[in-house]
Amino acid sequence: CPASPAAPLAFTMLQLTRVYRGSSMFRGNASLNGQLSHVLDEHNVTQVLPLEPPDAWARRQNEVITYLKNFRQLVQLFNKERPTNFTQHLCCHLGCRLFPNGTAQSFYEVTLNRTAFLSFHVPNATWERRWPGELPVAAFAQEQLMKYPITTQDLQYFLNTTCVSILQAQSARTGKVSGRSRAPLVLGLILGSLALLGMALGIFLCTGGSS
Residue 96 backbone phi and psi in degrees, to 5: -150, 160
Mean pLDDT of the chain: 76
User: pLDDT higher for 81 or 204?
Assistant: 81
Is residue 9 scored above 70 in pLDDT? yes
Please give the C-alpha separations between residue 13 and each of 30, 120, 186, 207, in angstroms, as whole numbers.
Answer: 4, 14, 11, 27
SS (H, E, C) 104-117: EEEEEEEEECCEEE
| Helix 136-145 vs helix 175-206: crossing angle, to nearest 10 | 140
Q: Is residue 18 part of a domain?
A: yes
Per-residue pLDDT at 119: 92
What's the total number of domains in the chain? 1
Domain-embedded: residue 75: yes
In a domain, 4, yes or no: no
Residue-wise pLDDT tens digits, 186-196 = 555 555 555 55
In angstroms, what CA-CA distances link 175 with 9, 80, 89, 166, 169?
12, 48, 35, 7, 5
More confident residue, 63 or 191: 63
CATH number at residue 17: 3.30.500.10
* Residue 207 predicted with pLDDT over 50: no
4-33 average pLDDT score: 82
Is there a domain that residue 182 lies in? no
Q: What is the mean pLDDT of residues 114-137?
A: 88
Domain membership of residue 121 (yes or no) is yes
CA dihedral angle for residue 16, residue 18, residue 23, residue 24, rounded to 10 degrees: 0
HEC string of 88-108 equals EEEEEEEEEEECCCCCEEEEE
| 181 found inside a domain | no
Does any domain span residue 195? no
Residue 187 lies in a domain: no
At 107, the pLDDT band (50, 70, 90 cuts) reads very high
Burial call 80-111: b when 16+ CB within 10 Å, e when fewer:
eeeebeeebbbbbbbbbbbeeeeebebebebb
Supply the range of the domain harboring residue 51: 9-174
Sheet holding 126-129, edge to edge: 44-47, 35-41, 23-32, 9-20, 88-98, 104-112, 115-121, 126-129
The predicted pLDDT at position 121 comes to 94
pLDDT tens digit sequence for 127-137? 999 988 777 77
Whether the predicted pLDDT of 50 surpasses 70: yes
Of the ranges 30-44, 73-87, 166-180, which is most confident? 30-44
**Residue 199: per-residue pLDDT:** 53
